[in-house]
Structure 1
Amino acid sequence: MHSVFLATIPSPQQGVWYLGSIPIRAYALCIIAGIIVAIWWGERRWQERGGAKGAVVDIAVFAVPFGIVGGRLYHVITDPELYFAPGKDPIKALYIWDGGLGIWGAIALGGLGAWIACRRKGIPLPAMADAIAPGIVAAQAIGRLGNYFNQELYGAHTNLPWGLEIYQRFDPNNPTIPDQGPDGVAFGSIPLPDSPVQPTFLYELLWNLAVAGFVVWMDRRFKLGHGRAFALYVAGYTLGRFWIELLRTDTANHILGLRVNVFTSAVVFIGAIVYFIVARSRGPREDPELLSSATKSDEKEQAV
């Protein structure tokens, strides 16, 4: 018997398929799948903590669109040369389906949307944040699969056995014109010069899943409340993002020779740790009666 081992990880031949004239984009499907998982898992955790059924879905109606807009804004603001440099098409700054969502902007504006929704329903935002924390980081892991299909977010050349093969993609309507974007198709799997490369998207995917498991374990063991589970997620994610950013070679703005996201990760990590420690003084996890009564009172007001 012969054992077959992959010397490298192959990339998908393409990241978009067509149903008639309708494009089906892997990146968009991964984002949608991540959102569904985050809502489903958050709903389960919310009810386990004493919250009323359906609250997470109501919050998501505000948080998700806010988060998508915030994520795109952060990406465009921190990498403006991709859209506004000479020869670039500014309208593509709106093309979310081509990839490019900054998690910092998504969390910031998504948090604003969640705060608005929580105020409307009388729900403590920190309690809701604790419930959805593992689901959010799991959604980020699923979203990284979209980067795999788009052939983006990778590092430098490597000879490691898990190196990622990236291929030259071409315009499917004119195979003589190279198109390395997500709309291109690889014909004959022609590798790019730096291939194989460090699969940093995969490192982050696995790290995010580990963070989700760690947050759940810590939450069950110590009954975290008042936003501490969410702070733990933020600290865990940024710790991983810090070292993964150091491996990435895709286009990014730099400060003092380091990528902007390296500094952002460090600052946010420190803030999350400080909050995690300080919030301990707020005492035990929120009373389940508080979480359930808040939603019930909101339902009564709507019924009047």
Structure 2
Amino acid sequence: MNLAYIPSPTVSQFHIGSLTIHVYALTMLLGIIAAIWITSVRWKRYGGTFDQILDTALVAVPCGIIGARLYHVITTPERFFGPDGDWVEIFRIWNGGLGIWGAIALGALGAWAWVRHRHYPMALLADAIAPALLVAQAIGRLGNWFNQELYGKPTTLPWGLKLNTEGSAIGNAEQCYDGATCPTGTLFHPTFLYEMIWNLIGAALIIWIGHKAVRALKAGSLFALYVIWYTAGRTWIEMLRIDFSHEFLGLRVNVWVSIIVFVLGVIAFVVIQRCGKPTPLLAEKLRTVTEIEERDAARAKGGPDAKHGGGGNAGARAADTQDSPHESR
């Protein structure tokens, strides 16, 4: 008999009138809000504004959600298109099923397209968002706890996860995803908690490294460290999970993806140190872009800066800083 364990919630949703609120969706929303706030605080230190981050988020977040869902659909197609599949389930993201790799890939693509249009330094944005992503992912894992999904192998450790047999949580009918027979009361590795702790430690480390080595590391280095840290943890955590997953050469697909992305992260870190631009230089460019945007906004409103003739196209003028004498530093 286990005297200590982590209990599972008995519900994963609640109702306000006729509206159904899914806790999984709330954790996603809270994670997004936290990421925007943390990123904006860090971005302001580089010389940017909250509005710049908010505008970028309005593009990147929808792209990230779509990418996350597409990754899940592509890697588990039988759930949606198999003999027992239901393609309409693709749109029911509150039932779980978002792949972080798809979110990062398509979200980053959307962010890159927007910041390129606005002439913000992408490498600075990547560094600003690196710890924010880890915090957001940590918060999002709480949704797995409420859904009783994506837990690990059986364990006798005192922090094992105990599933409930009542309520509407997904885990009710999925005690052992791998088909094994699990006795009543079996505890499982709380992989959601492992990843939460790993991600929060990583966020703290990235912030600390950023403060200590801001001039030693080239812009973009912190994002590469995020990739390295997250994939290192995801590899061993993924190997604990027992939910259904396609395998290749005896390893889960997400394990292979983590290993490959980890290697790419290490390569990116080395390349950035050799070919990247200094953070202070890009911060100077960002401050220039911000100043031009603020003058243009003042001119549009007929503000005091209008009489000085400052303005013009912010993006075009900011692009000119690329060829300034500072570039050769």
Give the TM-score normalised by the residue count of structure 1. 0.88
Could you say what secondary structure the match of 1:132 adopts? helix
Alignment partners' CA distance in 1, 2:165 and 2:85: 21
Alignment partners' CA distance in 2, 1:53 and 1:142: 22
Query: Which among 52, 74, 78 is matched to residue 77 of structure 1?
Result: 74
Could you say what secondary structure the match of 2:187 adopts? coil
Query: Which among 273, 277, 290 is matched to residue 295 of structure 1?
Result: 290
Aligned pair count?
A: 286
Query: Which among 192, 207, 219 is matched to residue 210 of structure 2?
Result: 219
Alignment partners' CA distance in 2, 1:13 and 1:74: 29
Deviation at 1:294, TM superposition (A): 2.1
Could you say what secondary structure the match of 1:88 adopts? coil
> For residue 199 of structure 1, what is the amino acid of its counterpart?
P
**1:94 to 1:193, Cα distance in 2 relative to 1, 3 A:** farther
Moved more, 79-88 or 246-255: 79-88
> 1:239 corresponds to which residue?
232
Moved more, 259-268 or 292-301: 292-301
> Is residue 128 of structure 2 the alignment partner of residue 134 of structure 1?
no
Query: Which among 223, 245, 251 is matched to residue 258 of structure 1?
Result: 251
> Is residue 41 of structure 2 the alignment partner of residue 47 of structure 1?
no
Contact 1:121–1:298 (Cα < 8 Å) also in 2: no
Deviation at 1:283, TM superposition (A): 4.7
Contact 2:10–2:167 (Cα < 8 Å) also in 1: no
> For residue 210 of structure 1, what is the amino acid of its counterpart?
I
Alignment partners' CA distance in 2, 1:164 and 1:179: 13
Could you say what secondary structure the match of 1:113 adopts? helix
Between 1 and 2, higher relative CO (CA 8 Å, sep ≥ 6) is seen in: 1
> 1:164 corresponds to which residue?
161
> For residue 73 of structure 1, what is the amino acid of its counterpart?
L
Alignment partners' CA distance in 2, 1:138 and 1:122: 27
Query: Which among 20, 25, 31 is matched to residue 23 of structure 1?
Result: 20
Contact 1:122–1:295 (Cα < 8 Å) also in 2: no
Q: Which has the higher helix share?
A: 2
1:63-212 mapped onto 2 (5 Å cutoff): 63-169=60-166, 180=173, 193=184, 195-212=186-203
Alignment partners' CA distance in 1, 2:152 and 2:93: 22
Alignment partners' CA distance in 2, 1:262 and 1:93: 23
What's the Cα RMSD here? 2.1
Contact 2:164–2:172 (Cα < 8 Å) also in 1: no
- Larger radius of gyration, structure 1 or 2? 2
Deviation at 1:126, TM superposition (A): 1.1
**1:202 to 1:226, Cα distance in 2 relative to 1, 3 A:** same
Could you say what secondary structure the match of 1:168 adopts? coil
Could you say what secondary structure the match of 1:47 adopts? helix
Alignment partners' CA distance in 1, 2:250 and 2:92: 29
Alignment partners' CA distance in 2, 1:44 and 1:170: 40
Unpaired runs of 5+ in structure 2? 175-181, 301-311, 313-329
**1:131 to 1:230, Cα distance in 2 relative to 1, 3 A:** same
> Is residue 282 of structure 2 the alignment partner of residue 285 of structure 1?
no
Deviation at 1:6, TM superposition (A): 5.8
Give the TM-score normalised by the residue count of structure 2. 0.82
Contact 1:52–1:296 (Cα < 8 Å) also in 2: no
Contact 1:133–1:230 (Cα < 8 Å) also in 2: yes
**1:208 to 1:72, Cα distance in 2 relative to 1, 3 A:** same
Deviation per CA, 1:158-194: give whole Å up to 9, x if none. 111000001234669xxxxx9638xxxxxxxxx9747
Contact 1:225–1:286 (Cα < 8 Å) also in 2: no
Unpaired runs of 5+ in structure 1? 173-177, 182-190
> 1:175 corresponds to which residue?
none
Deviation per CA, 1:251-290: give whole Å up to 9, x if none. 1111011100111001101111111111112353142221
**1:136 to 1:6, Cα distance in 2 relative to 1, 3 A:** farther
Q: Percent identity?
A: 48
**1:47 to 1:170, Cα distance in 2 relative to 1, 3 A:** closer
> For residue 270 of structure 2, what is the amino acid of its counterpart?
I
